[in-house]
């Protein structure tokens, strides 16, 4: 009995040690905050707000927030009369991204919130996939004007999270590329 009484404290200390090793919290991934300026976006303010919320709801390690001052933003939204076009990301803090939200796409019947979410996807480093289904935000105009989905799917969100993972954040593109999205069947000469 004395031997059994001596083993109980040893067993409890071993069990407690194992339990604390397994219950140690994992460090959450670092969240990258990108700031934007929508002061020149005019009638696009509502669609931008919803598009940003949709991305923020889907992402784990990237957060989009309005800049405290316009000149300090990592990227800007602007209303234009032409076709939507965006700086191809991923844009990182201190970046210089530009989203031009073209009225021509809305005039042809495309959903403004979907356009804003799609163009934001480019800022976050996603390419176009016009052959994709309506459930993919980066399918853009491919599914036609009846598609109003403005929420990224799980694969798109996972790719953005990967683009901004801690081990990738150090690898930043130094060249500037602009993506021109022609939200119709026509092809612009400059987009070829």
Catalytic (active-site) positions: 119
CA 30 to chain centre: 15
- What is the rounded CA–CA span in Å between residue 115 and residue 105? 8
Number of CB atoms found within 10 A of residue 155's CB: 12
Cis amide linkage into residue 48, ω under 30° from 0: no
Count the Cβ atoms, other than its own, within 10 Å of residue 93. 10
Whole-angstrom Cα distance, residue 71 to residue 82? 24
């Amino acid at each position: 009995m004395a031997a059994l009484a001596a083993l109980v404290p040893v067993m409890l200390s071993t069990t407690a040690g194992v339990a604390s090793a397994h219950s140690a919290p994992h460090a959450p991934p670092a969240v990258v905050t990108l700031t934007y300026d929508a002061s020149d976006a005019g009638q696009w303010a509502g669609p931008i707000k919803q598009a940003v919320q949709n991305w923020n709801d889907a992402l784990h390690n990237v957060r989009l927030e309005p800049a405290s001052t316009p000149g300090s933003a990592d990227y800007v939204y602007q209303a234009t009369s032409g076709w939507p076009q965006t700086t191809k990301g991923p844009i990182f803090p201190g970046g210089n991204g530009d989203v031009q939200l073209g009225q021509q796409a809305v005039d042809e019947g495309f959903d403004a919130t979907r356009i804003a979410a799609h163009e934001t996807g480019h800022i976050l480093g996603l390419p176009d996939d016009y052959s994709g289904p309506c459930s993919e935000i980066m399918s853009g105009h491919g599914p036609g004007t009846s598609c109003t989905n403005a929420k990224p799917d799980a694969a798109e969100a996972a790719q953005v999270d990967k683009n901004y993972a801690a081990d990738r954040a150090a690898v930043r593109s130094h060249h500037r590329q602009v993506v021109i999205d022609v939200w119709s069947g026509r092809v612009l000469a400059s987009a070829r």
